[in-house]
Amino acid sequence: MFVWEDADRMTSRHRHPKKDVQRALRFAEDHGWTVTPTASGHRWGEMVCGHQGRDACQVSIWSTPKNAGNHANRLRQRVRNCPHQLPGSGGGS
């Protein structure tokens, strides 16, 4: 794994190959979600909300979505609609 820099911010996960999806993942991380790359087939990784429990929100991130813009919008929508919004995490950007 490598570290990449993005607008004065560093992370230790791989970048997603689609720019729109990468921006959505950064949005999720800014709102307290954890993004974890996986090595299983078409699934690039998963996002999990910051809620500590079995009912935490979990979303699959596809490596090659049919439409990257729509996939990114759905990822952002899941973050905004999470019932476990963390205090101070915003929620509507």
pLDDT tens figures, 1-52: 434 445 445 566 788 989 999 999 999 999 999 999 987 778 999 999 999 8
Rounded to an integer, what distance in angstroms lies between the CA atom of residue 11 and that of residue 22?
12
Does residue 88 register a pLDDT over 80?
no
92 falls within a domain: no
Q: pTM to 2 decimals?
A: 0.78
pLDDT, position 39:
77
DSSP letter, residue 44: E
Residue 58: give the domain boundaries. Answer: 16-80
90 falls within a domain: no
Q: How many domains does the chain have?
A: 1
54 falls within a domain: yes
4 falls within a domain: no
* C-beta separation of 56 from 36 below 8 A: no
11 falls within a domain: no
Nearest to 45 by CA among 62, 29, 68, 57: 62
